[in-house]
Structure 1
Amino acid sequence: MARRIATNTRVDHDALLEFLRSRRHGILVTTRGDGSPQLSPVTYGVDGAGRVVVSTYPDRAKAVNLRRRPAASLLALGEDFNDAWVQVDGTAEVLDVPDSVEPLVEYYRVAAGQEHPDWDEYRQAMVDQGKSLVRLTIERWGPVATGGFPARLADS
């Protein structure tokens, strides 16, 4: 049986955004107060400005951590464990109600890939729930990668 060979494909910014938009699941990495990493599984989207957006609540660890230290990373994953992935790094901001409401509308559109049946109801729910939005401005990224054996072991 042929071995699956690991890949690392460098991509430009436009190709990165296309790749990120083809996925919805990720791991957001922020920094706890003691300096250790905090990892949060998230559903994300990419807004019209090319930022990674994540819905949350103001008291969740990711929001609290980002208010203290805005550096963050996201590992964008596919539906299957063996799918390609990419890590993006950047600076995040946390928006709270009322400033988060319209960006949460865009988040819904890009994360769900569809329109909500009642936007007024959605907006009110976001206010009632006190929802926040994380926006991660991408400053660097790694290659789009897949797991597997090193190429030198392909025929071993």
Structure 2
Amino acid sequence: MTPQAAAPGAPVAGPTRGVFAPTLALGPVVVIAGAVLGGGRAALAACLGFLVVVAFFGLGQLVTRRLSVAVDPPRFVARASAIVLGQLIFLLLVILALRDAAWLDGPAFGLSALAVALAWQVFQVIAFVRSRRVVFDAPDKTRQDGTPPT
């Protein structure tokens, strides 16, 4: 049986909506925590960490939606896994590049990036589990002998 064309972004449309709102709500929390624990410089670093993670994972969601059009499930999973791995590698490279920046509070940046990335992943799993997905193929329009039903 050939895979049927899905609506653009169908496998990730629900999870995308279920991830952005709770993750964006976490932004002020990490910035306030940075301000309370480390002052203005830490709050700025926490805000930057939040923005970097949301930009990386948001862009990954958009790419995943674009690549999920009319793709069979094994290819979709492979593509989505590659995108997530790429996101995590690029995020690690950004964190490593900024770790020795004198103008940045490194621990506040790293902890806020870690907290937001973990929250994004948790909310993404929750949203995907709650989304409705077809888990079986539509029945064939032919009988077992290959003739159409009468």
Same fold (TM over 0.5): no
TM-score, structure 2 as length reference: 0.26
| TM-score normalised by L of structure 1 | 0.25
Give the structure with the higher percent helix.
2
Greater C-alpha Rg: 2
